[in-house]
Structure 1
Amino acid sequence: MHYPEIDAASLAEALASHHGPPVAHLLPGSGSTELIYLFPRVLRPRRALLVTPAFSEYERSLVQAGTQIDVFPLRVEEQFRLDPERLLRALDSSTDLVMLANPGNPTGVGIDPGVIEQIARAVREQAVVAVDEAFVDFCPHRSVLEKVPLHGNLYVFRSLTKFYAIPGLRVGYLAGPARGIARLSEAREPWALSAPALAAGRACLGEQGFRERTLLELPRLREELGRGLEDLGLTVFCGEANYLLARLEGAGASAAALAERLRSQGVLIRECGNFPPLDGRYLRVAVRTSEENRRLLEGLKNLLPLQAAASASG
């Protein structure tokens, strides 16, 4: 009697009540990453178009499933915004999966839900569209989760670990067509979510006050941090999540070197040179409290002149 639920039924029911789609369209998982790997392993896409820059686990999961991967790089000159017409022109006749994130990671740039539905309709006879909405709770107007029952080829990955800050408990879910969700459910291992994870997931869905406070406070903190980064000479992209992508300017600028120096001060940033097509000048910073954001900005203010001097002498 001390085992967790074999299929996380209570969380699926809570998700259905919270979001609207029936239980048959929802599959809880041990974090969205478990489901990102389960998805290609079961549905076996032959050829995928992957919108980049992107979370590295997409490519790894597709490679493990033997899927051929084409990439669709977003353009910095377009502020990493998705052009649906250009994407549709990039499809190969054998493409049967389009995979992207909304908002993007590491860009934080959001996609209008109407654009995603446009793509899903355009490829409905050819391909499945899979959207990772791991950070969409920070910009809920971007979500297409409630539209899933209207499309037979639209899947949406979601995470409870980002917005609710419970990454150690691993709670996520997938929404999609009932037939596809049934296939995925039948193929996965039982007891994927622990009893504490199930309890935490259900509790998170009831935290309306926390959601309202976060959505009220985060944009102010994000704007404050973005202005501070721009004042230091960085190019900042218009993200909508709890992080910002920025680019160091100047010859020889290195986000990796900057990250190493900040780490010695107890401040962690993410250098993004391993997110193709980004290069070594790009970095991602979390939006934290005002005090923590000021600490980051002070560290950057002290280190950026040193980096510029080192680049000039080198």
Structure 2
Amino acid sequence: MNKKTKLALATPGDASEIDRIRHRVYAAELGQFSTCEEETLHDRDEVESIYIVAFEEDELVGFVGVTPPESPRYSIDNYLARGSVPLDFDEGLFEIRALTVVDQSRGSRVAPALMYAAFRLIQDRGGKRLVAVGHRKVRDLYLRLGMRPAGRSFQCGRLDYELLTASTQNIETELTRFATRLDRLEQQVDWQLDVPYRAPVECYHGGAFFNAIGNTFADLSRRNEIISADVLDAWYPPCPEAQQALHEHLGWIMRTSPPNHAEGLAETIAHARGVQPGNILPGGGSSPLIFLAFRHWLTPASKVLLLNPTYGEYAHVLEKVVGCRVDRFNLRRDEGYAVDTERLAAQLREQYDLVVLVNPNSPTGRHIPRNELEERLRNRHPKTRVWIDETYVEYAGQGESLERFAACNDGVVVVKSMSKVYALSGLRAGYLCATAKTLEPLRGLLPPWSVSLPAQVAAVHALRNPDYYAECYRETHRLRTRLIEGLRALGIEE
């Protein structure tokens, strides 16, 4: 089977062929129902199932039914009394039923693909638990999916059946063991369902700090009793001018809609960085801009180069959200995680759709000097776009940002978060710096009011007070030196 197997929801036009195959398998082959001249086998007793069908070369070769909780009955009701079944028949219970594959396609990818598709449909519709009955020929397939015996069995026709069940959470966990197989299966199927092949996965950014304080913020004074180690936020407060502006006008700021596209913030950033406002695209922190740009530029067929280790959100977006191929530029611990720029230059000459560089890198802290990196970027493959995350570049020294370079070089994009170096993590402000040509397609995708008014006001005042932050950076270096010296005195090396 060289051609892909098409998976889709059944249409009314598929109903007669599904019914004919069901009659052939369950009546003629397995003897569960009486055969009839019409060769039909309809659902009975108000079982209302959604069918997923598999086609190969326009021939229907298999299908599976999903019975949602709003159906008046499940098919298992035809064989087992609900009182004898150890399940809660509530709005979270979905049934997988009638997994059927025609003779010539049995033992192929069709059955696993249909089972996975049924699970994704259930997961997408908010299902919490699955139930199914499996006979001896398909029982192992259900077990591999993560379902387990529920202690009830019965005979129907020539086969013995067993009741199987699992939570969708347990199945999702079980499927992580088969990541390679799912990757291969994804390449073999033409997925035409209205749910994505993979479930969207949230990127983990900690959470224990606010779990301890309370996510409903009932007692924020608890922050004084708990040390946050979830996220590396600034240890110092925002500049006094930013705090004063918010304090004096807080009621008005809270009730007033901000400038649609943060035009004043873009002008202030541009003036501070020595570029034009058209070179700046503000957003509600760097993360929304990462998700926006990558999903616009890339597809599952894209090829990306990523430092390893580096900021974990990039691997998440590239592999879990976009689903593209990611090559790792591995950094060695015995080399202090330094980036070998000669080796990087060789990689940049290859054709990638995107190269992601965090500079200074997080969590390693290693920095490629601006002049050296600019030289490498000038000699990159002409079709390779380069994304440079400069969240911590201010700590590397004045003049180390590549923003001016990006503003006049198509295909080079600098992303800057204002969270870490301006102490504005809670307000969410960030921006992209690139040529106007590079940014223009993204502007139309960014919703209005993406940057809140408190964030715009505070960020503008922060940018106007560079001396305050420069002293914070110097003090950070002094504190880091003291920490290193203290650790070494304890016999702990970097």
User: Is the shorter-chain TM-score for this pair beyond 0.5, marking a shared fold?
Assistant: yes
Verify the 8 A CA contact 1:124 1:152 in the aligned structure 2.
no
Tell whether 2:343 aligns with 1:86: yes
- Secondary structure of the residue aligned to 1:37 is helix
Structure 1 counterpart of 2:317, from 43, 56, 61: 61
Partner of residue 297, structure 2: 43
Distance 1:140 1:183 in 2: 32
Unpaired runs of 5+ residues, structure 2, are: 1-254
Structure 2 counterpart of 1:140, from 374, 397, 400: 397
Distance 1:96 1:114 in 2: 24
Structure 2 counterpart of 1:114, from 361, 368, 371: 371
- Secondary structure of the residue aligned to 2:315 is helix
Structure 1 residue 119: Cα displacement: 2.6
Change (3 A) 1:15 1:227: same
Structure 1 residue 159: Cα displacement: 1.1
Tell whether 2:266 aligns with 1:12: yes
Partner of residue 480, structure 2: 222
Distance 1:170 1:188 in 2: 15
* 1:10-31 alpha-carbon deviations (Å, 9 max, x no partner): 1000001110111111111111
Task: Give the letter aligned to residue 223 of structure 1.
Answer: T
Verify the 8 A CA contact 2:355 2:387 in the aligned structure 1.
yes
Bigger Cα displacement from structure 2, 127-136 vs 142-151: 142-151
Structure 1 residue 77: Cα displacement: 2.4
Verify the 8 A CA contact 2:411 2:438 in the aligned structure 1.
no
Whose Rg is larger? 2
Structure 1 residue 171: Cα displacement: 0.6
Q: Percent identity?
A: 33
Change (3 A) 1:202 1:91: closer
Distance 1:30 1:107 in 2: 26
Tell whether 2:406 aligns with 1:152: no
May I ask how many residue pairs the two structures share in their alignment?
236
Structure 1 or 2: larger helix share?
1
* 1:126-185 alpha-carbon deviations (Å, 9 max, x no partner): 301111111112223431112212321211111111012221100111111211111111
Distance 2:286 2:297 in 1: 16
Task: Give the letter aligned to residue 8 of structure 1.
Answer: A
Distance 2:268 2:360 in 1: 24
Structure 1 residue 124: Cα displacement: 4.5
Q: Aligned-pair RMSD on alpha carbons? A: 1.8
Structure 1 residue 223: Cα displacement: 0.7
Task: Give the letter aligned to residue 12 of structure 1.
Answer: A
Structure 2 counterpart of 1:28, from 282, 304, 326: 282
Distance 1:217 1:93 in 2: 41
Structure 1 residue 94: Cα displacement: 4.2
Distance 2:397 2:276 in 1: 19
Structure 2 counterpart of 1:127, from 377, 380, 384: 384
Structure 2 counterpart of 1:98, from 355, 358, 361: 355
Partner of residue 442, structure 2: 184
Change (3 A) 1:139 1:51: same
Return structure 1 stretches of 4+ with deviation > 6 angstroms: none
Distance 1:128 1:161 in 2: 25
Partner of residue 425, structure 2: 167
Bigger Cα displacement from structure 2, 140-149 vs 63-72: 140-149
Higher relative CO (Cα under 8 Å, sequence separation at least 6) belongs to 1
- Secondary structure of the residue aligned to 2:426 is helix
Bigger Cα displacement from structure 2, 110-119 vs 8-17: 110-119
Verify the 8 A CA contact 1:54 1:101 in the aligned structure 2.
yes
Structure 1 residue 78: Cα displacement: 2.2
Q: TM-score, normalised by structure 2?
A: 0.46
